[in-house]
């Protein structure tokens, strides 16, 4: 409870005793605690008009703290009076600002209002700052981005790989800036490629058309194109956001590397290019291989090739030595003698084998001849029998003959023709 002190004076001017009375006992008076009042102020500052809003004003009392935070005041003249708002931009946001804040700048700040209870004041916590008058240009940039995205200018699947060993590198930039010097230094150090400059204005009225024309001049005449310029403000880089430049990059048949501004700057040209580099020097490093690395790879390949050739040479030398050993006269004569002995032995084995086989065949033929002789119908003729034939067929019975017919008789040796004088059938005598 807040205590209210009342000081009473006596008639002689001395201070009388202090009387403490609870504030709640004073009629018609509402007393708030400091914390309670701070909470009410915080609640009032939650008005959506004070959250994530834009404020235009002139910077004054700008202080860049060693911690990286930036403190300043935004002021505006109104009705012969100056309205002021204390502001703070924390380090995490200050490092993303495109340019350093300075007194006298008229800017548009983006952020939210909050009550700093410990200091008893409210502050505008700034997250982004842009130069006054750029708001419309930011909106235009967003419209361009949406329009070009709908045209397919930023699709990842259309992006091409860079050639590994470019013979000619095209550069679109100012002929008088430090950018060209930086790219020349990197290419001269890393890879002996020919640089083809297509000079152009990189900012100002009509710069976007000059840049687009410079890109078109190089397309198809070089192996890769670098579109580059140094850092600058949003207005300085505006030409590289223009649809004319973006469409020229997208329509290019030659791979394009974009290196516009500093690393924190991202233009629509960067999004349309086949590859984005944070700086012009980095772009030159991306398009040109490192000569030192290539030479080392070449040395390693040469060593591997030499090892392979030496191993094959050793194997061939061993094979040749073996052939020489085989073809030495003494050894060759020895091998020939061995082959002769083997041949003679094989011939002897073959003759013996053929003799035994011939004997077996002769014995088999003799046995077959004896069987044939035993089964031959002419064998009995040798023993005095005769074979009578009539009409080319053997006569098996006397009844087959007729008296007076001529028949042939075959004997053991020779033949004869006989006349049948008499026919006697033994069956009739039975």
50 CB contacts (<8 Å, ≥6 apart)? 112, 113
Q: From CA 89, how far away is CA 72, in angstroms rounded?
A: 8
CA Rg value for the chain = 61
Angle formed at CA 70 by CA 67 and CA 74, multiple of 5 degrees: 165
Count of C-beta atoms within a 10 Å radius of residue 294: 14
Residues lower than pLDDT 70 in the chain: 1-28, 132-136, 327, 329-332, 378-379, 381-382, 426-430
Cβ contact 311:294 at 8 Å = no
Angle formed at CA 33 by CA 35 and CA 44, multiple of 5 degrees: 55
C-alpha closest to that of 243 among 144, 134, 371, 102: 144
Identify any residues that bridge with 172 across adjacent strands, giving them in sequence order. Answer: 198, 227
Q: From CA 50, how far away is CA 213, in angstroms rounded?
A: 46
193 secondary structure, DSSP code: P
Report pLDDT for 89.
94
Q: List the structure tokens of 241.
A: 């956001």
CA–centroid distance for 103 within its chain: 51
Q: List the structure tokens of 285.
A: 């490093």
CA–centroid distance for 84 within its chain: 57
Cβ contact 106:55 at 8 Å = no
Phi, psi torsion values for 336, nearest 5 degrees: -65, -45
């Amino acid at each position: 409870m807040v205590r209210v002190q009342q000081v009473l004076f006596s008639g002689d001017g001395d201070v009388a005793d202090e009387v403490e009375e609870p504030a709640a006992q004073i009629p018609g008076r509402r007393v708030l605690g400091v914390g309670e009042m701070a909470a009410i102020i915080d609640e009032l500052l939650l008005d959506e008009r004070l959250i994530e809003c834009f404020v235009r004003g002139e910077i004054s009392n700008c202080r860049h703290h060693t911690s990286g935070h930036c403190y300043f005041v935004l002021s505006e003249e109104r009705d012969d009076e100056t309205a002021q708002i204390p502001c703070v931009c924390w380090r995490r946001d200050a490092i993303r600002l495109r340019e350093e804040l300075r007194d006298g700048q008229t800017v548009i700040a983006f952020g939210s209002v909050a009550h700093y209870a410990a200091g008893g004041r409210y502050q505008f916590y700034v997250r982004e700052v842009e130069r006054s008058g750029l708001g419309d240009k930011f909106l235009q940039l967003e419209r361009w981005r949406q329009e070009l995205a709908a045209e397919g200018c930023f699709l990842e699947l259309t992006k091409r790989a860079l050639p590994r060993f470019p013979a000619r590198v095209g550069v679109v930039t100012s002929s008088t800036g430090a950018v060209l010097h930086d790219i020349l230094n990197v290419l001269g150090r890393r890879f002996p490629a020919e640089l083809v400059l297509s000079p152009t204005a990189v900012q100002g009225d009509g710069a976007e058309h000059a840049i687009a024309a410079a890109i078109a001049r190089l397309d198809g005449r070089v192996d890769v194109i670098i579109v580059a310029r140094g850092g600058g403000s949003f207005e300085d880089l505006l030409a590289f956001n223009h649809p004319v430049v973006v469409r020229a990059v997208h329509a290019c048949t030659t791979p394009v590397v974009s290196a516009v501004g500093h690393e924190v700057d991202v233009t629509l040209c960067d999004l349309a290019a086949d590859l984005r580099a944070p700086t012009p020097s980095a772009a030159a490093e991306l398009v040109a291989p490192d000569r030192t690395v290539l030479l080392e790879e070449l040395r390693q390949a040469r060593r591997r090739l030499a090892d392979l050739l030496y191993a094959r040479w050793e194997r061939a030398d061993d094979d040749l030595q073996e052939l020489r050993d085989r073809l030495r006269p003494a050894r060759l004569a020895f091998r020939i003698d061995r082959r002769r002995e083997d041949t003679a032995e094989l011939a002897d084995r073959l003759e013996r084998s053929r003799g035994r086989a011939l004997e077996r065949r002769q014995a088999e033929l003799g046995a077959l001849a004896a069987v044939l002789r035993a089964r031959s119908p002419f064998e009995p003729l040798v023993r005095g029998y005769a074979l009578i034939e009539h009409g080319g067929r053997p006569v098996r019975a006397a009844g087959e003959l007729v008296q007076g017919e001529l028949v042939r008789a075959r004997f053991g040796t020779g033949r004869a023709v006989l006349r049948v004088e008499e026919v006697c059938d033994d069956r009739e005598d039975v």
